Structure formats: structure tokens, C-alpha cells
Structure 1
């Protein structure tokens, strides 16, 4: 006796490909323009402090806006928000490209367009959370998340290289490429046939504030989601801190920016390989062993970065960290998707994203303070200690039980 499957499961192969292309295009375009944006702002007469302030303000506003957009996305406006956000971003970057092509643009216009694009991107990302759960059957979600993670890692490699080449040809081209990438994303989302409206039970008498906090309540009540929050927050902060440790140490040793670029390319390639290998590794070893083992394996290279000064040794150790991290990250992301009802995906994802992005934003400040007040080796040593504590936590029997139950679910 056969039963009809939900429409989002029937549409999965085509719709997931469209989602993948939307994600990949957005990632490459954003990396291409984001890489050269500081150069453009400095070239227009801004100080490094002003450039850093603009980056910090746009990040902070994105963190605040994401949870606000998550509620209408979960209520049924997911596709409309994604389409509208991509269109606004395309117009903003197109405006920057046009003004750059026609001469020296007004500084206020460029800053306004960049800020609008960052806020629209935050809205797109907030609404897009949970789309995998609506276009992929449950058993296919880990592989789908691995492919999306691989696309993100690939964008980290291709985007900066593309942005640099285009900027060298004409400074408007990276922003034109970013605008076109948003057009591609919008067309892909518009072409998706699956119903992206998650079924939600009617909550009578529930206030807007309480409904908006439903994702936070779910994270607090779910042992698996609490583990995902702790792991992702810690590891993302550590990776950012280790990157800035590399910057501080290589600068102290007199290495050029080309060396740092090579290290970033190596780490991006390693992250791509790790994301592609994650489903097979998880099938072979199981979720508890992968998460626990990877967390322990991250400790030695992170701590070793405190004692090496050779650029290639830095590249190999940091690349090893970036290779290992996606193996566990994909497992935990898939578990978070499967542990969350479709009608709560955006709100729950906003809670996790706010915590991880916030920790990554604070990490450079702490790394710089440790490097100034103690030594340039201190951030790597502290990172090693934090990873060791996290690994000990994931080794506890209750935590391994949570991972086993999440994998089974």
C-alpha cells in the first residue's frame, strides 16, 4: 500500500539543486565584493578605523535583524523574504557598481548601499534557514548539508580570487559580479516548486514576543541543540582566534600578505575536502565517535600553533584544523535540522547563528588583547585549552547518548 509523500519530498532533487546554486552564487559574489570592499573604502579616503567600524556595525545590525526576520519566515513568508532580500541586495550592489563605473562616487552613497546590502543579506540568511528541511527528506539531510557546507568552503576559495582579479581590471567589476550573483539566487529561489511554507499549529493567545522566543525556548530545552550551540560557538571562536594568531605571528616574522593569502587558500581547500568527506566518515564511524574524535583531534594542531613560526608549518596546522572542523560540524548541523520542527527552523537557526556569529566577532578582540598583554602565542594556547574542555564534555556518556539519539532520529 503506497502513500503520497509531501510535496517538498517529491521536489527534493530539483529544488535542492536550485537551493545549492542559490547558496553557491550568493557565497561567491559576497566573497568577491567583501574581499575588496576594505580596499575600496580606504581608496575613497576612509581611515582603517572607519572601515573596521563599518564592518562591525553591519555585523551587529545583521545579528539583531536575523531573529526579527525569522518569525515571519516561519509563519509562511520564507520565500517572499528570500526573493525580496535578494532583489534589494542586487539593486544595492548594482548601484555601487554603476557609481564606480561613472566616476568617483559620493562616499555616503557607497556606505548606504553597502549597509543596505548587508542588512538584506542578513534577512535572506535568516529566512533561508530551515529550507533544507522543506526540500529534502530526512535521510538525505546530512548529505545535503555537507554539500551546502562544501559550497560555502568553495566560495571562500573562489570568491576572494575572483574579487581580486576583477578589482585589478576595474574596481566596479567585483560589485557588479556580486549584484549578478544575487540575481542568480533570486531566480533559483523563484524557480523552486516546493512549498516553503512550514506547517505551523495555531497558537491562540500567544503574544508576539513569546512566539518570537520559541526558538530560544527550544534550544534551552533540547540537549542536542544545547550541544550544537556549545560546540559551534566554541569552535567558531577558536578558528577565528587562530586565524588572527597567524596574522599576528606572520606579521611579526616579516612575512608578506601573499603568504597569508596562500594560507587562507590552503585552509579553504582543506575545509572543502572535510565537508565533502563528512557524510562518508559519519556513516563509517557514527555520529558520537566523529564529534568526540574530531574535537579531541583539534586540540594538538591548535596548541601547536603557539610554538611554530614557519609560515608553511602555520599553513599545514591551520589547514588541518579547517579539514577536521567540517567533519563534526556537518553532523551537528544535520542533527539540529532533524531535531527542529519545520515551523521553528528559522527561529531556532537564528538563535544558533546569533551565538556563533557573536562569538566569532568577539574572538579577534580577545585574540588581540592576549597577543598584546601576554604574547602572540597566548591565543593559540587558550584555544587549545578551550578545545580540550569541549572535547572532555563531548566524551561524557550523557552527551554521547544525545548524539546517538540524534543520529537515530
Structure 2
């Protein structure tokens, strides 16, 4: 049963629009600078190993910090953390832009700025979890999540294109654009009028560690949240593994990087369409049918690269996968949002995000090992098997009952 909403929660469409713009600006700016960062480092004479190390360290730090900052966010510092994180990120990217405009920046400066921005972003993401529940009434949350997901997909399309154009004009411009996007984000958050705090019921004498683990305890005892965890972790890991399998295959066939760029653009456009269609599809078919049906449809699409390895085949397969994924993922996100009290949103979201991102980070390693030691088709075969097991699990009567009960609630 869904928890009762706090008495201060009211629908405020203007606040949701501000949240949407903050999310969209952040996404476009981050994609613009993140796309060209490897090019910048390589152009400055640094090795591919250095580029990979920076990317890996920044991702690991974000994973470690997310659960740590979730507790103060749930305790009422949500808006202050979002504002402070956006301001720190703007300063970090502004320093990179200034250093590039005035000369050749040392690697230490770039590394420090990237890590500071990643840590601030982790704090922002932790603090922003639960904001939708506070600015949108329950019935509007699936549509709100779909619009936010559409903004993310749009950023995946527009951000890299913007970053590439700006980088051609001047290498400092993508980082200046990212800094300005954080300024826009901070202004939007500051303008929100909704009270973003949430009242948490704490046991007297409860330790800080036990409070920090409240989200993990909730995920462990909630069948719905366990389903969200399993589904999101498996599907995201499979998609990342398939992408890297496609990279290995297409590079072996001699295709240029533009082919991968075109596949990513097509996937982003398909994901945008899927996100926009998700609320309507869920309303007409119902949550159990959408989640189960989408998962079964993903099985042959994941296994197909074991047989079809052309560039056009990859484009079509990834487009279909990215079209279908949001239909189920937005349903699950909405159910999880409605089943979690606002005062636990950050900690619960941190648990889900850490598991999902951690699995996605391991996926390229496993895909590379399978392709090198077994066969180029092995990643697709393993992905197909994993999704078949997930589809069988989601088809169980008990799992479908959980989704039906949450939908009714």
C-alpha cells in the first residue's frame, strides 16, 4: 500500500516546470562537456589509459558518495544540497573553461575539476530524488517521470551534438556551456516554492548507521522495490554489454566512429519516443502487462546480435530496445515512487542507483572477456539468457500481483 503523503504536499505545475528545466539544462550541459572530454585529454597528449582511469575513478567516487549524502537530503537539506551542488559544479567547469581559454591546463587541474564536478553531481542526484513526489500529486507522477525521462533522452541527442559543434569552434566552449547549464539549474531550483523537506519518523536513540541503512532495509522488505532493483540492474547491464559488444564488432569490421554516433543518435530518438508514449501505454494495458510484455520482447532483441552483426542491424536493434525500455522502466519508477515515503526517497534511490550503476560499470568488462575468450557472439547469447530469466521471473503470478496491487493503491 502506498504511504500517505505529507500534509504540505500540493500540486504546483510551475515548480515541476522548473524541475524539468533544471534537469534538462543539467543533462544537456553534462553531455556536451562529457562527450568532448576524452577528445580534449587525447588532444593534450594524454594516453587512452589516462582517459579511462579518469572516467573510472570519477564513476567510482560518485557511487561511493551517493549513499553517504542521501541521509542529509532526506533529513531536510534537499534544496540546499541541490543549490550548493549546482554552484560547485558551475565553478569547477568554469575553471576548466578559463584554463583552456588562457593556455594549456595541467592534467591535475582537469582531474580535480572533473572529480569535484562528479562528487557535486552525486550530491545533486541524491538530493533531487523525491522532489517529484513533493511537487506532483500521485496520479500525475507517471506522466511527470515520463517527461523527465524524455528530457534525459533529448539531452543524449542534443548534448553530444552541441558539444561537438562548440569544440570545433573553441575547445573551452563546451565546458563554458556546461558551467552555464549549472547556473540555469541553480536558478530554477532557487525559484521553486514547494517545501522540499519531508518529515521523517525516527526511533529515539537510533544510530546514524541505522538511519543511513533505512533505504536498504526498505528495499529488502518490499517485493515491489526488489523487483525494480532486479529489473533495472539486469536490463541496464544488458544494454551496456550489448553496446560494447557492438563496439568490438563494428571496429573489427572497420566501421568509422560516425557509425557508432549514428546508432547512439537513433537510440536516443527511440528512447525519447518511448518515454513520451509510456504513460499512455501503461494506462491502456496495465502495469503487469507492460512490464512482462516488454521484458519478453527484449529477449530476442538482445540475442539477435549473435547472428546479425551489420551496422544497419545494430541500429535497428538498439533503436527497438531503447523504444521498449522506457515503457516498462517508467512504470516501475512510478510504482517505486508511490510506494516510498518522501523522507526515504534519497536513501532508497541511492540503493537502486548504486546497484544499477555498479552493474552497468561491470558490464563492459564482462562483455570484453566473453568476446575475447569465448566468441564475438557470446555477449549477445549471455544477455539473451539473462533477459529470458528476468522475463520468466516477471511473469510469475506473485510478481504480477505486486504490480497490480501497487497500481490499485
Q: TM-score, normalized by length of structure 1? A: 0.98
Mapped contact 1:92–1:114 kept (Cα < 8 A): yes
**Within 5 A, what are the aligned runs for 1:67-78?**
67-78=67-78
The residue matched to 2:375 in structure 1 has which SS? coil
**Within 5 A, what are the aligned runs for 1:50-129?**
50-129=50-129
- Equivalent residue number for residue 265 of structure 2: 265
- Equivalent residue number for residue 248 of structure 2: 248
Q: Distance in 2 between matches of 1:6 and 1:402?
A: 27
Q: Distance in 2 between matches of 1:185 and 1:131?
A: 14
Mapped contact 1:33–1:163 kept (Cα < 8 A): yes
Q: Which runs of 4+ in 1 moved over 6 A?
A: none
Post-superposition offset of 1:309:
2.1
Post-superposition offset of 1:7:
4.3
- Equivalent residue number for residue 180 of structure 1: 180
Point out where structure 2 has 5 or more consecutive residues left out of the alignment: 1-5
- Equivalent residue number for residue 133 of structure 1: 133
- Equivalent residue number for residue 8 of structure 1: 9
Post-superposition offset of 1:374:
1.0
The residue matched to 1:8 in structure 2 has which SS? coil
Q: TM-score, normalized by length of structure 2? A: 0.98
- Equivalent residue number for residue 224 of structure 2: 224
Post-superposition offset of 1:45:
2.1
The C-alpha deviation readout for 1:84-141, integer Å capped at 9, x for no partner, is 0000000000000000001111221111111101111111001101110110000100
The residue matched to 2:205 in structure 1 has which SS? coil
The C-alpha deviation readout for 1:203-245, integer Å capped at 9, x for no partner, is 2110000000000000000000000000000000001011111
**Within 5 A, what are the aligned runs for 1:175-324?**
175-324=175-324
- Equivalent residue number for residue 3 of structure 2: none
Mapped contact 1:244–1:364 kept (Cα < 8 A): yes
Post-superposition offset of 1:252:
1.2
The residue matched to 1:199 in structure 2 has which SS? coil
Q: How many residues align?
A: 404
Q: Distance in 2 between matches of 1:363 and 1:232?
A: 13
Deviates more, 1:303-312 or 1:260-269: 303-312
The C-alpha deviation readout for 1:366-390, integer Å capped at 9, x for no partner, is 0000010011111111101100000
The C-alpha deviation readout for 1:347-403, integer Å capped at 9, x for no partner, is 000000000000000000000000100111111111011000000000000000001
Mapped contact 1:242–1:302 kept (Cα < 8 A): yes
**Superposition RMSD on alpha carbons, in Å?**
0.9
